[in-house]
């Protein structure tokens, strides 16, 4: 079982269970004595052939390999800024831990361009970061090692060109749309200004099939304009959704007045909608502008990065929101489709055995009661208010959980094996509930029944609340798509989808309040409702099977088998609970 992937979910009890199940098997298969010490598996050395160049070499033992995206070089002296280092192309590999990566075997040399140092400087200390694995299936923890370089005597600098040095972002290669440091500066003295790509470094990596992580590294004493930073892609089948930008700092700018800027480096998760879910590379285009504090301002910088997207198995985005990650366009038809789907799903919920009896009794009583039409309309409106308030509370609670631990969106969560396993259990529990093994929501419905017996506004309001509570176990067959779409949207749009679902649930009662004759057209409660509910359990089971198949591709058959065994335990626990519930 892949405990490393489960650990990304962040739930300690899942990781503990995974380790408890898989540790005996792992140690039975691999003897720790078969592994070389990390310093022997990846023998490290370093030298400075010139004062402007450092070379870090790895001698990699047979049967071992290093990850390209886990390599890093930095000066121990934090005041020294190093340019990106040069690294050769690695061997492509589909890795069970990191997906599609590049690796190195036998030997590897990193070339690092050094800044001009005082002639009196005789040595330089670097921190080297790396991580590797053995072919027998064990990976070492990430390593940090310090090396000291003896510099040649002071003199002229070497001739290593900055263009020879590539961006070392994981699975990303940079394409400069212009010469770094080129172009005219807007104002100020440019003699002591850093080149563009040293002042503002732009990187990006795909963290999931429908998620990119963009990083802007800003040099000390420089700042980036928030409203002049834009991201886009022209890749077919890929649309950038609106990201949640980190808070910016208010700044009085000599050129643009009061603006929002970033003085500190920041990372920006950028969600994507994908219709093309095959693994392929896309070009991410960025446009940004910044300044040196109390100094010059740079012209608009435009850069492009190649980003390798993994296959989007099981995470096809349903709708797109905008083509520009910084300035979304008007809402497209996808939003209207999601709202309509939520409305129709709410209407269908009225046919569920957990809702229709309540609706029928209240509707018939309202239509045939002794009260006038004004009372019927007020009653219907208060019922609708109760439903909408309940769905708003439900939506805010779910969005709160999302913002606390899942700001990356629903699609990203589906790449976490622990979350997929949890969904398998949820689908199984819903299916068992609809099959009659256990009754969810019955006790909650009983608690609120007395509040609905009042004939005034309070009774109508709490009838709407009760309908929402008892309808919650029935939402899954119809609302999976709309709710998944809502989880990937900005909070206000997501809340609108929840409210549309509530409006669909309340709409029949609302219409009956204004058109009493419609009550006679309601289907009568009967045995057909229970049959319908039980039939709808089978799509839930099929959804669980599909999720288990996705999980098998993520963690292998051993992990999927363990989750399947856990599903049997869940079913047995629910059966036992229902049998012994008073």
Backbone angles phi, psi at 55, to 5 degrees: -125, 125
Hey, what are 116's tokens? 């001009």
Q: What is the dihedral of CA 78, 84, 88, 90, to 10 degrees?
A: 80
Mapped onto helix, strand or coil, the DSSP state of residue 137 is: coil
Question: How many helices, marked H, and strands, marked E, lie in the chain?
Answer: 15, 22
Hey, what are 457's tokens? 């506004």
Backbone angles phi, psi at 123, to 5 degrees: -150, 160
Which residue segment(s) compose the domain that 23 sits in? 1-30
- Assess contact for 327 and 226: CB atoms under 8 A: no
Whether residue 353 sits in one domain with residue 318:
no
- Assess contact for 45 and 150: CB atoms under 8 A: no
Res 193: pLDDT: 74
Cα–Cα distance between 540 and 554 in angstroms, integer? 21
CB-based contacts of 163: which residues, under 8 Å, 6+ apart?
none
Whether residue 522 sits in one domain with residue 451:
yes
| Residue whose token pair is 């002794």 | 370
Cα–Cα distance between 94 and 82 in angstroms, integer? 31
Domain count along the chain: 4
List, in sequence order, every residue forming a beta bridge with 436; answer none if it has no partner.
Answer: none
SS3 content of the chain, % helix, strand, coil (to 5): 45, 25, 35
The Cβ-side half-sphere exposure at 543, using a 13 Å CA radius, reads: 21
Cα–Cα distance between 363 and 353 in angstroms, integer? 16
Whether residue 390 sits in one domain with residue 296:
no
Distances from the Cα of 190 to the Cα of 194, 228, 546, 580, angstroms: 8, 21, 59, 79
Rg, C-alpha atoms of the chain: 30
pLDDT in tens, 103-130: 999 999 988 888 888 878 888 889 999 9
Whether residue 353 sits in one domain with residue 272:
no
Cα–Cα distance between 199 and 296 in angstroms, integer? 12
Cα–Cα distance between 266 and 476 in angstroms, integer? 38
Domain boundary among 163, 198, 220: 163
Whether residue 47 sits in one domain with residue 10:
no
Cα–Cα distance between 490 and 377 in angstroms, integer? 34
Domain boundary among 328, 354, 387: 328
pLDDT in tens, 170-208: 333 332 222 233 333 443 444 467 888 889 999 988 888
Whether residue 509 sits in one domain with residue 457:
yes
Helix H or strand E segment including 164: none
Res 464: pLDDT: 75
Res 190: pLDDT: 44
Q: Is 533 left (phi over 0), alpha (psi -120 to 50) or beta?
A: alpha
Cα–Cα distance between 471 and 505 in angstroms, integer? 9
Burial of residue 427, with CB atoms counted within 10 A of its CB: 0-12 exposed, 13-18 middle, 19 or more buried:
buried
Residue 55 CA from chain centroid, whole number: 37
Cα–Cα distance between 182 and 168 in angstroms, integer? 22
Whether residue 453 sits in one domain with residue 541:
yes
DSSP state of 153: P
Cα–Cα distance between 18 and 335 in angstroms, integer? 39
Whether residue 212 sits in one domain with residue 131:
no
Cα–Cα distance between 298 and 315 in angstroms, integer? 40
- Assess contact for 490 and 242: CB atoms under 8 A: yes
Cα–Cα distance between 401 and 397 in angstroms, integer? 6
Helix H or strand E segment including 138: none
Domain boundary among 328, 347, 362: 328
Whether residue 506 sits in one domain with residue 413:
yes
Q: Where are the alpha helices (DSSP H) in 406-526?
A: 410-413, 417-434, 442-449, 457-471, 476-487, 491-514
Residue 32 CA from chain centroid, whole number: 35
Whether residue 436 sits in one domain with residue 479:
yes
- Assess contact for 394 and 469: CB atoms under 8 A: no
The number of residues in the chain equals 582
pLDDT along the chain (582 residues), means of 10: 44 39 39 75 89 89 91 85 82 76 91 83 88 82 86 51 31 30 39 79 87 90 89 85 86 74 90 81 89 79 87 46 39 63 79 61 55 73 88 79 46 59 79 75 46 62 72 53 58 82 84 72 64 74 80 78 90 84 62
CATH number, domain of 96, equals 2.60.40.1250
Mapped onto helix, strand or coil, the DSSP state of residue 30 is: coil
Whether residue 563 sits in one domain with residue 546:
yes
Cα–Cα distance between 540 and 440 in angstroms, integer? 15
Whether residue 23 sits in one domain with residue 46:
no
| Residue whose token pair is 């939003």 | 335
Q: Is the dihedral of CA 556, 562, 568, 573 positive or negative?
A: negative
DSSP state of 474: G
């Amino acid at each position: 079982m892949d405990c490393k992937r489960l650990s990304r979910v962040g739930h300690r009890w899942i990781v503990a269970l995974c380790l408890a199940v898989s540790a005996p098997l792992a140690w039975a298969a691999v003897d720790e004595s078969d592994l070389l010490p990390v310093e022997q598996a990846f023998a490290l050395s370093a030298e400075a052939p010139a004062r402007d160049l450092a070379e870090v070499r790895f001698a990699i033992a047979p049967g071992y390999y290093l990850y390209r995206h886990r390599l890093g070089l930095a000066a121990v002296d934090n005041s020294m800024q190093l340019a990106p280092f040069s690294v050769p192309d690695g061997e492509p590999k589909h890795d069970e831990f990191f997906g599609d990566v590049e690796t190195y075997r036998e030997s590897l040399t990193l070339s690092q361009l050094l800044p001009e140092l005082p002639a009196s400087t005789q040595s330089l200390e670097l921190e080297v970061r790396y991580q590797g694995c053995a072919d027998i299936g064990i990976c070492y923890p990430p390593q940090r090692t310090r090396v000291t370089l003896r510099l040649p005597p002071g003199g002229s600098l070497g001739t290593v060109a900055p263009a020879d040095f590539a961006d070392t972002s994981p699975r990303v290669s940079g394409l400069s749309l212009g010469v770094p440091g080129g172009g005219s500066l807007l104002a100020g003295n440019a003699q002591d200004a850093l080149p563009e790509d040293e002042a503002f470094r732009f990187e990006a990596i795909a963290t999931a099939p429908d998620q990119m992580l963009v990083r802007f590294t800003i040099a000390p004493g420089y700042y980036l304009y928030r409203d002049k930073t834009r991201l886009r892609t022209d890749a077919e089948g890929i649309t950038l959704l609106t990201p949640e930008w980190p808070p910016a700092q208010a700044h009085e700018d000599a050129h643009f007045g009061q603006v929002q800027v970033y003085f500190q480096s920041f990372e920006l998760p950028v969600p994507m909608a994908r219709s093309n879910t095959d693994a392929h590379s896309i070009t991410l285009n960025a446009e940004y502008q910044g300044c040196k504090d109390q100094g010059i301002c740079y012209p608009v910088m435009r850069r492009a990065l190649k980003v390798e997207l993994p296959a989007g198995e099981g995470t096809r985005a349903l709708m797109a929101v905008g083509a520009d990650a910084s300035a979304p366009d008007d809402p497209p038809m996808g939003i209207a489709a999601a709202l309509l789907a939520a409305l129709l799903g709410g209407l269908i919920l009225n046919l569920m055995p957990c809702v229709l009896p309540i609706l029928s009794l209240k509707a018939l009583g309202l239509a045939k009661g002794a009260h006038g039409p004004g009372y019927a309309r007020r009653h219907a409106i208060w019922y609708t208010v109760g439903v909408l308030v309940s769905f708003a509370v439900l939506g805010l609670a779910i969005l709160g959980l999302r913002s606390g631990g899942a700001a990356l969106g629903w699609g990203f969560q589906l790449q976490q094996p622990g979350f997929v396993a949890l969904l398998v259990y949820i689908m199984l529990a819903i299916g068992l509930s609809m099959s009659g093994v256990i009754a969810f929501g019955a006790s909650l419905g009983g608690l609120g029944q007395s509040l609905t017996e009042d004939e005034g506004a309070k009774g109508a309001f709490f009838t709407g609340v009760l309908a929402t509570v008892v309808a919650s176990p029935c939402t899954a067959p119809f609302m999976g798509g709309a709710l998944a779409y809502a989880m990937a949207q900005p909070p206000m749009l997501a809340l609108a989808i929840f409210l549309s679902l509530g409006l669909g649930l309340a709409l029949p009662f609302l219409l009956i309040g204004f058109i009493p004759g419609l009550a006679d057209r309601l289907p009568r409660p009967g045995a057909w409702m229970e049959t319908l509910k039980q039939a709808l359990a089978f799509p839930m089971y099929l959804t669980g099977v599909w999720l288990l198949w996705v999980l098998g591709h993520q963690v292998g058959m051993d992990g999927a088998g363990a989750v399947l065994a856990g599903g049997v335990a869940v079913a047995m626990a629910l059966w036992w609970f229902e049998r012994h519930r008073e």
